[in-house]
Structures are given as structure tokens and as C-alpha cells.
Amino acid sequence: KAGVTQTPRYLIKTRGQQVTLSCSPISGHRSVSWYQQTPGQGLQFLFEYFSETQRNKGNFPGRFSGRQFSNSRSEMNVSTLELGDSALYLCASSLDRQGTEAFFGQGTRLTVV
């Protein structure tokens, strides 16, 4: 079956702009999570959605937001981009059961100039 699909794969934006990233989970998976990966901070949790509800949010400023649609697809938005937002943004989907693994997409590489 198809894996987690993230679009676009690469983005270059200018400081102050906003950006929207998209994630399509594996069919049947209703939990979608987002992570930011940088060389300095490693992998940091952004937020998690299930059935269009945000169940947990990481320690990021309000410029980072997300949503989930009724078909489980998810988007995240970053407004007023800063140079420090340059990172690989990873989306993961999973079945909503304790101990089940998360399946990751290939990520969106965001560069802010």
C-alpha cells in the first residue's frame, strides 16, 4: 500500500512569508504527527491530530499551526517565517493503538532565505 506522502519535497521561502506543507497518511491511519528536524535540535515534536482534533502540541511558537481534514490528510502552516525555521519537516501516520509504530514520509525540506 502507498506510504505517507508529503508535498512539496523542497521549498525556498523568504523571511516574513508564510508556508503550508501537506501530508497524506497511509490509508486507514487516522493519527498524523508532525516533527521538525534540524542539525542542532534533532527531531522535535510539533503536533498530533486524530479525527480532525489536535491532541498534543509541542513547544513551538504560535506561528506554527496545523489542521487535519475529514479524510485524515493534514497540513501545517508556518507564518512570518524566520531563518531558524529552515529544517526538514517530517509527517508521520499511525494507527491509534498503544505500541504501534509511526510511519514517516520523506519530509519537506524548507529553506528560509
Partner 1 sequence: GDSVTQMEGPVTLSEEAFLTINCTYTATGYPSLFWYVQYPGEGLQLLLKATKADDKGSNKGFEATYRKETTSFHLEKGSVQVSDSAVYFCALSDGSNYKLTFGKGTLLTVNP
Site residues (CB under 8 A) for partner 1, limited to 28-57: 31, 33, 35, 42-43, 45, 48, 50, 55-56
How many Å separate Cα 61 from the centre of its chain? 15
Q: Taking contact as CB under 8 A, which single stretch among the options 16-24, 68-76, 79-87, 103-111 is the one that binds partner 1?
A: 103-111
Residue closer to partner 1 (CB basis): 66 or 105: 105
Binding mask 59-88 vs partner 1 (x if CB under 8 A, - otherwise)? Answer: ------------------------------
Q: Is 81 exposed, middle or buried (0-12, 13-18, 19+ CB in 10 A)?
A: buried
* 1 makes contact with partner 1 (CB under 8 A): no
Report the candidate in 64, 15, 54 with the shortest Cα–Cα distance to residue 33.
54
End-to-end alpha carbon distance in the chain: 37
Q: How many residues bind partner 1 (CB under 8 A)?
A: 24
Give yes or no for a contact between 66 and 78, defined as CB atoms under 8 angstroms apart: no
Lookup: cell for 28: 486507514
Point out which residues bind partner 1 (CB under 8 A). 4, 6, 31, 33, 35, 42-43, 45, 48, 50, 55-56, 58, 90, 92, 98-99, 101-107
